[in-house]
Chain A
């Protein structure tokens, strides 16, 4: 199984600022996924990040708001830009458990963001 760490674990930010969330995996993985979990809600996929290519964003999410970097096979960052209170959520990093596309996913502990 993969062990995923995220930094920061939580933060309180002011409106209009940006926050970069880091995700580190203890093994090399092809794809990394970024999810948002709004309070009391399910998970919504923001984007899929492949090493060496631009991230693929889901409907309703754009690169200007959520730029993603994927410099190598064990690390990714998600930036939440020009934040508003509506961005207050838990942001989760995730990876596949193997190369098969029907596999389960492993999740990081999440970053709890509050925007004032």
Chain B
């Protein structure tokens, strides 16, 4: 069945450091791919998405590119801020998963001032 694998956390960075959170997926066909973010004490909110191969999703300085050849959707940000401290979930949604959203395990990011 469909699955999402993302790098384990926690990830601890200093402010203005470069961020990469790796995400790979297994699915048949062309699922939509998402990154959701969960700030402390809150629900999830969509950070960015891509719906077809080679699409780049971007928001708030974060980017991720849908790579069909490597089945990856890595999240990057050039310069993190303390306010980016949160849990990040990679997710997919596609036909073979019955259109249910499949979430990765989540990666907790701590950004130090």
B77 at the interface (CB under 8 A from A): no
Instruction: Please provide the chain B residues from 39 to 60 with a CB less than 8 Å away from any CB of chain A in the complex.
Output: 42-46, 49, 51
* Contact between A107 and B45, CB atoms less than 8 A apart: yes
* Contact between A42 and B31, CB atoms less than 8 A apart: no
* Contact between B49 and A109, CB atoms less than 8 A apart: no
Distance of A103 Cα from B92 Cα, bound (Å): 10
Report chain B residues within 8 Å CB of A107.
36, 43-45
* Contact between A45 and B93, CB atoms less than 8 A apart: no
Distance from B104 Cβ to chain A, minimum over Cβ atoms (Å): 7
* Contact between A42 and B44, CB atoms less than 8 A apart: no
Distance of A94 Cα from B89 Cα, bound (Å): 15
Interface string of A84-116 (1 = CB under 8 A from B): 000000001010010001111111111000000
* Contact between B42 and A102, CB atoms less than 8 A apart: no
Distance from A47 Cβ to chain B, minimum over Cβ atoms (Å): 11
Distance of A104 Cα from B36 Cα, bound (Å): 9
Known: A92-B43, A102-B94, A109-B43. A41 touches B105 (CB 8 A): yes
Contact partner of B49 (CB less than 8 A), chosen from A42, A43, A45, A104, is A104
Of all chain A residues, which has the CB nearest B45?
A107
Report chain B residues within 8 Å CB of A4.
43
B34 at the interface (CB under 8 A from A): yes
Distance of A103 Cα from B34 Cα, bound (Å): 9
* Contact between A102 and B104, CB atoms less than 8 A apart: no
Report chain B residues within 8 Å CB of A41.
105-106
* Contact between B89 and A45, CB atoms less than 8 A apart: no
* Contact between B99 and A102, CB atoms less than 8 A apart: yes
